[in-house]
Chain A
Amino acid sequence: MSAIRTVARKELRDAASSRWLLGFAATFAVMALALSLAQGGGGDSRDGFTRTTAGLVNLCLLLVPLLALVLGAGALAGERERGTLASLMAQPITSTELLVGKFVGLTLAVWAAVALGFGSAGLAIALLHPVAAVGEYLQFVLLAAGLAMTMLSVGILVSVCSDGRMKAIGMALVLWFFFVLFYPLAAIGLALALSTSGETLLVAVLANPVEGARILAIVGLEPDLRVLGPLGAYLVNELGLPATTALLLTALAAWTAAPLALANGLFARQDY
């Protein structure tokens, strides 16, 4: 455990001085603040939080995966490129401890950045209105934290499979484009065009953690079939709200554990 803690602490320290992360935190905070001020001005206090949270969903689904994928992708590929991986692995540490230490440190760093963004927005709304609907807001913060872990895990798998940092980051950007931009537009359309069977729709939801997180966020806020989209509407209709929530949370957990486990297996078999 002490090796994991040491590596995680160093990752956190590096992240704190990283322009990438600070830039992200500042951008997220400014945009979240702008959203909360723009949308939280009217209506009752519950509406203020709910509307702001709904606005933050899109912002979060766009930015959190980008940050987490890129940070994860640079984690081990960067060490390998600089030659520091061999120096680290020559110490009393296992490949699993190094990988988990990196994951934990980066997770805490992304959480800190996300917390800054959501914290700013939450504070702004709380100042404008008496506090209400905070539960939904916190639920969404937790969901963003979970999505960050998932995308970090995928990013670390990319990192293990890449022999250079830029190659890893390039691959991470391709994945981000696929998961966040291409998938909701083209991939789901293609899946629906090919087949509208329940199995196809289910696979289409589970194959993309970002889509799963989007549906979870909307389900948590306001399970309106019009805003859930075809996949979310299908799930809620077929399974009901509690089962849909449980299924998507399980999928998100599996999307976190599986890439990390695969990365661990591959990393242990590599030369350093």
Chain B
Amino acid sequence: MVVMLDVAAVGKRYGDTQALEAVSVAVAPGEVLALVGANGAGKSTLIKCVAGLVRHAGAVHVGGIDVARRPKQARRLIGYLPQQPALHAELSVRETALFYADLKGVPHDRARAGVEAVGLGEYADRPAGALSGGMRQRLALAIALLADPPLLVLDEPSAGLDIAARLELRRLVHEQRARGTAVLLSTHWLEDVPYIADRVLVLDHGRMQSLGSASEFEALAAPTSRLYLRLNGRGPEAVPLIRELLPEHAVEYAGDWLVVTCAAARKAGVVEAVVEAGIAILDLRVEELAAGTAPPGPGGMAL
């Protein structure tokens, strides 16, 4: 297998805490690997090892280049989106993009186009410090994509994003995968995983718990969610769409709410289908139910 990212027996210790222990995984061009695990599982630490931001045991190679020995050359191949994008507050959006373009050796025209592509064109003169969290995330994403890197490393890219932005992120990952970009991303949103990733690495207290395909992960994880949607009277239009998507799952009404009980990993797909059908979601609530529990009904009327 051609490998873009090769992580071999990587370990990292912070004081007395073993944050990462003997993690080995490889990512091929055009493949998306999702890192999942609880807080403190080691996802961000592994991502920082890959980006060459922390010293660690073991070896990380990107495109065959040892990140520890030749960090500059390796980072030319990496587009990195940190968990909490930190930008120089005093630089404007445009100046930020141009600064990072200079560091990456990318022409300024492409930096300006990158700002436009993430929808920040009209905010180009606004200081980065005055951007909302979502806008900062988009600017950081534009920077990560500036040099068309063959490896994209995204640390919790969907954290703090609204539903539309999360769907947009999915599209972006799909596009990158189609272009042959290898993608390593961490996420708390388990339901995103089957839609966004080819394989899943589950970390627990810094150790590899499992590594397998996204469909295996979906079957293994399979917690249940109950999704409450207020659709402003357009429930009857949404029901067939949802039934088509989830033929085996319950769809019910509870007052104004349309209630969908499904595998947690599928609920984002429900929202995506409804939004793409042009049905506005007035309100949305989610109840997460433990894996394998038989959920009690919402007390509504079965369809």
Set B84, B86, B89, B103: member contacting A93, Cβ < 8 A = B103
Q: What residues on A are CB-neighbors of B223 within 8 Å? A: none
Q: What residues on B are CB-neighbors of A269 within 8 Å? A: 55
State whether the Cβ of A197 lies closer than 8 Å to any Cβ in chain B: no
Q: Would you list the 10 A-B pairs with minimal beta carbon distance, nearest first? A: A83-B86, A90-B80, A271-B54, A6-B102, A91-B103, A92-B76, A272-B53, A84-B86, A92-B75, A90-B51
Say yes or no: A17-B80 contact (C-beta < 8 A), given A2-B102, A89-B53.
Answer: no
- Cα A133 to Cα B143 in complex, Å, equals 54
Q: Which residue in chain A gives the minimum CB-CB distance to B45?
A: A271
- Cα A3 to Cα B103 in complex, Å, equals 5
Q: Which residue in chain A gives the minimum CB-CB distance to B53?
A: A272
Q: Which residue in chain B gives the minimum CB-CB distance to A97?
A: B72
Say yes or no: A89-B52 contact (C-beta < 8 A), given A3-B103, A6-B103, A94-B71.
Answer: yes
Cβ contact within 8 Å between B105 and A92: yes
Interface residues, chain A, CB within 8 Å of chain B?
Answer: 2-3, 6-7, 10, 14, 17, 82-84, 86-94, 97, 269, 271-272
State whether the Cβ of B88 lies closer than 8 Å to any Cβ in chain A: yes
Cβ contact within 8 Å between B104 and A91: yes
Set A2, A84, A97, A271: member contacting B87, Cβ < 8 A = A84
Cβ contact within 8 Å between A87 and B54: no
Task: Give min CB distance, A8 to chain B, whole Å.
Answer: 11
How would residues 233 to 276 of chain B score, 1 for a CB under 8 Å from any chain A CB and 0 otherwise?
00000000000000000000000000000000000000000000
Cβ contact within 8 Å between B82 and A86: yes
Cβ contact within 8 Å between A92 and B104: yes
Q: What residues on A are CB-neighbors of B195 within 8 Å? A: none
- Cα A84 to Cα B100 in complex, Å, equals 12
- Cα A269 to Cα B89 in complex, Å, equals 27
Task: Give min CB distance, B222 to chain A, whole Å.
Answer: 35
Set B53, B71, B76, B99: member contacting A6, Cβ < 8 A = B99
- Cα A86 to Cα B88 in complex, Å, equals 12
- Cα A86 to Cα B99 in complex, Å, equals 15
State whether the Cβ of B125 lies closer than 8 Å to any Cβ in chain A: no
Cβ contact within 8 Å between A87 and B102: no
Q: What residues on B are CB-neighbors of A271 within 8 Å? A: 48, 53-55
- Cα A191 to Cα B147 in complex, Å, equals 59
Cβ contact within 8 Å between B102 and A14: no
Q: Which residue in chain A gives the minimum CB-CB distance to B56?
A: A271
Interface centre among A7, A84, A92, A269 (most CB of B within 10 A): A92
19 pairs, A vs B, C-beta closer than 8 Å: A10-B88, A14-B90, A17-B90, A82-B86, A82-B88, A83-B82, A86-B53, A87-B82, A87-B85, A87-B143, A88-B103, A89-B52, A90-B53, A90-B80, A91-B75, A91-B100, A92-B76, A93-B75, A271-B53
State whether the Cβ of B78 lies closer than 8 Å to any Cβ in chain A: yes
Task: Give min CB distance, B250 to chain A, whole Å.
Answer: 44
- Cα A7 to Cα B87 in complex, Å, equals 14
Q: What residues on A are CB-neighbors of B88 within 8 Å? A: 10, 82, 84
Having A83-B82, A83-B86, A84-B86, one finds 6 other A-B pairs with CB under 8 Å, namely A14-B90, A82-B89, A87-B140, A91-B104, A271-B48, A272-B48
Say yes or no: A272-B90 contact (C-beta < 8 A), given A83-B84, A91-B75, A91-B103.
Answer: no
Task: Give min CB distance, A265 to chain B, whole Å.
Answer: 14
Q: What residues on B are CB-neighbors of A86 within 8 Å? A: 48, 53, 82, 86
Q: What residues on B are CB-neighbors of A7 within 8 Å? A: 103
- Cα A202 to Cα B99 in complex, Å, equals 47
Cβ contact within 8 Å between B102 and A90: no
Task: Give min CB distance, A260 to chain B, whole Å.
Answer: 20
Interface centre among B52, B53, B76 (most CB of A within 10 A): B53
- Cα A271 to Cα B75 in complex, Å, equals 16
